[in-house]
Every structure is written in structure tokens, then in C-alpha cells.
């Protein structure tokens, strides 16, 4: 793929709260870094490699973007992977639709299967993943990836949609919640006392619910007090990112919504198409927001920093 030139777009910000204006840099503009993908997902910043990895799921490829070189194929086939994260040792964790599993890419490049079954039945299509400070790997397992042949192949549903925690220390997989129709993006608050999960609903229904929900997280990782946190309008809600103040940056149909820890809309960044997923990156400040905007990769510098390790 040849390198497309970054093209500034007419980015529009809308402050719903005055504080949001301080998050915007005076002359920063939305840059289109690359185009021509089918469906971008799973962006993760690799600070030590100084690059972004992301998925083009229907093409079955993991892509790499670097400021100097633009876009290249990093891994093909990708086993129709979706969400990506790094563990505490910097290894890549991936959600595979077709493999119905989560994997870890070791430092030598080999791929280790971490989990593909719960109580003897296959997972559905792991969607998104984060790594907690204690090294446990949390991921969502909705149905989306096995409902069509576009993102890995239609397959039989064997599990209810669920949120899981995998512990690499003993290889155990624990179901943490089945209270979602379509658990999707997820993110811990900076202090890890909260876990945000986007509910993208049952896409086989008309007008599926689109809401961010939140759990309280106890020091041992137990979840409690699940409640609605923010209704994403216009929905579609998918990936999430969190900044150092605990604001949540959520994908939405009209772009990105920035939401305070109290659940208040602070502002929006409008994009030309819906946002699938997003992450903070850029070395060393993590002050650049990378956006999967349906078929295109965008980025914008902000006067914000992503919360520590972008797990």
C-alpha cells in the first residue's frame, strides 16, 4: 500500500462544557493518516516501536502506521483480529474473531493461545481487550464477529455475550458479567476502581441500545454496582479511551464524545464517518488521539494525555 499524504480535514469541536476548550490545541487539526481500509479496529500505541498497530478486520490484516513511513502490513493473516492491547511486559494481546480466542504475541514473534473456551464451549468472537495493572486480561465476547462472513465467518453461537477475565498466572478464565446484549469496548479508570464497558446491544434487533455502563471494581478485581453511565447519542458506541483525569473518550456515530467521570458530556469531536475505536498515543506524551473512522485512520493532537500504559 502506498503512503497517502496526511490530509487535514475540517475538524469541528463542540464544547458542551467550558473545560473542553482547554483540551483543544489552538491550531491542531484532524489529520487523515491513511485511507482505503474496510473496517479499522483495535488501535494500540506501541511507544517503544514508535508506531500504531491496528486491524483492518475484513482484510484479515494487522496494520502498522509510522510517522515517517506511513502504513504497512504488519501481520497477515491476522486471524480476523479485532481489539488489541499490550500486557505489562509489552506483549501484544489480540482478540481473534475467526479463532474465537485471545492470543499473546511473544517477544520472539511466536503466538500463544491464551483462552478459547469457557466451561467446555467455544467463546463467540472476542471483541476488545484491556490489561489491568495486576496483569489480568479483561475482554468482551459479544456475538458480532460470528454473525456474518465479513469479519471472520459465520459460526455457531455457543455462549451468551459476556465479559471475561483471564489470569495469565494460572490460566484461569472467569466470567465476570453476562448483563450485556453486546459488550464491546472497555476501559479502566486511571485508579482502576471503575471499569467502563460499552453496550452496543443486540445488532439483530431494531434500534439496539447504545449506552456506556460502569462497574465498581474492588481491589481483588470483583465487580459490583453495574449501572448506566452515559447514553451515546447518536449511537453507535464501540471503543473507549481514558485520559489522565479519568475522562472517557467514547466512539460515537458522529465522532468522539468526551465524558467526565461524573457522566457529563464535556464536548465532541466530529468526524466524517462513525468512529469504531480510538486510543491515545504519540511518544512520549500520549497526547495524540488516533481514531479508526470506519475506512480511514485519523489523528488529532489534544491538550490531554492518555492514561498511563495504554493497555
| C-alpha torsion sign, points 103, 104, 110, 112 | negative
- Asked if 141 touches Mg ion (CB under 5 A), the answer is no
- Considering the complex, what minimum distance in angstroms separates the CB of residue 110 from Mg ion? 26
- Considering the complex, what minimum distance in angstroms separates the CB of residue 21 from Mg ion? 30
Sequence-distant (≥ 6) Cβ neighbours of residue 124 within 8 angstroms = 100, 141, 142, 143, 145, 146, 157, 158, 159, 161
Lay out the site mask for Mg ion across 83-122 (x = CB under 5 A, - = otherwise): ----------------------------------------
- Asked if 151 touches Mg ion (CB under 5 A), the answer is no
- Asked if 184 touches Mg ion (CB under 5 A), the answer is yes
- Asked if 247 touches Mg ion (CB under 5 A), the answer is no
- Considering the complex, what minimum distance in angstroms separates the CB of residue 54 from Mg ion? 12
Spatial separation of the C-alpha atoms in residues 52 and 43, rounded to whole Å: 7
Backbone conformation region of residue 109, classed left if phi is above 0, alpha if psi is from -120 to 50, else beta: left
- Asked if 128 touches Mg ion (CB under 5 A), the answer is yes
226-245 residues near Mg ion, rule: CB under 5 A? 238
Residues 138-165: b if buried by 16+ CB within 10 A, e if exposed: bbbbbbbbbbeeebbeebeeebebbbbb
> Which span (117-125, 176-184, 206-214, 293-301) binds Mg ion, by CB under 5 A?
176-184
Q: Which residues pair with 281 in a beta bridge?
A: 288
Q: Considering beta carbons, is residue 127 or 159 the nearer one to Mg ion?
A: 127
- Considering the complex, what minimum distance in angstroms separates the CB of residue 238 from Mg ion? 4
- Considering the complex, what minimum distance in angstroms separates the CB of residue 156 from Mg ion? 21
- Considering the complex, what minimum distance in angstroms separates the CB of residue 146 from Mg ion? 14
- Asked if 127 touches Mg ion (CB under 5 A), the answer is yes
- Asked if 124 touches Mg ion (CB under 5 A), the answer is no
> What's the distance, Cα to Cα, between the start and end of the chain in Å?
28
Q: In the complex, which residues of this chain contact Mg ion (CB under 5 A)?
A: 127-128, 184, 238
Amino acid at each position: 500500500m502506498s503512503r497517502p499524504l496526511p490530509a487535514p480535514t475540517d475538524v469541528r469541536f463542540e464544547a458542551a462544557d467550558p473545560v473542553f476548550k482547554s483540551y483543544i490545541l489552538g491550531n491542531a487539526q484532524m489529520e487523515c493518516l491513511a485511507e482505503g481500509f474496510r473496517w479499522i479496529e483495535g488501535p494500540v500505541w506501541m511507544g517503544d516501536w514508535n508506531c500504531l498497530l491496528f486491524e483492518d478486520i475484513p482484510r484479515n490484516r494487522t496494520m502498522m502506521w509510522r510517522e515517517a513511513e506511513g502504513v504497512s502490513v504488519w501481520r497477515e493473516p491476522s486471524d480476523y483480529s479485532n481489539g488489541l492491547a499490550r500486557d505489562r511486559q509489552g506483549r501484544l494481546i489480540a482478540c481473534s474473531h475467526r479463532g474465537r480466542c485471545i492470543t499473546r504475541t511473544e517477544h520472539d514473534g511466536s503466538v500463544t493461545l491464551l483462552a478459547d473456551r469457557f466451561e467446555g464451549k467455544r467463546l463467540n468472537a472476542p471483541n476488545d481487550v484491556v490489561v489491568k495493572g495486576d496483569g489480568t486480561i479483561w475482554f468482551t465476547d459479544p456475538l458480532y464477529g460470528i454473525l456474518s462472513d465479513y469479519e471472520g465467518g459465520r459460526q455457531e453461537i455457543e455462549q451468551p455475550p459476556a465479559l471475561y477475565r483471564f489470569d495469565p498466572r494460572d490460566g484461569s478464565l472467569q466470567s465476570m458479567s453476562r448483563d450485556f446484549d453486546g459488550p464491546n469496548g472497555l476501559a479502566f479508570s486511571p485508579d482502576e476502581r471503575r471499569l467502563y464497558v460499552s453496550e452496543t446491544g443486540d445488532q439483530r434487533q431494531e434500534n439496539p441500545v447504545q449506552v456506556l455502563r460502569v462497574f465498581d471494581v474492588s481491589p481483588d478485581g470483583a465487580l459490583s454496582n453495574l449501572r448506566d453511565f452515559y447514553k451515546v447519542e447518536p449511537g453507535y458506541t464501540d471503543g473507549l479511551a481514558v485520559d489522565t483525569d479519568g475522562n472517557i473518550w467514547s466512539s460515537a456515530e458522529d465522532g468522539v464524545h468526551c465524558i467526565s467521570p461524573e457522566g457529563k458530556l464535556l464536548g465532541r469531536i466530529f468526524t466524517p464517518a462513525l468512529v469504531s475505536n480510538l486510543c491515545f498515543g504519540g511518544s512520549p506524551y500520549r497526547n495524540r488521539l488516533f481514531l479508526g473512522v470506519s475506512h480511514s485512520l485519523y489523528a488529532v493532537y489534544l491538550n490531554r494525555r492518555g492514561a498511563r500504559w495504554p493497555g
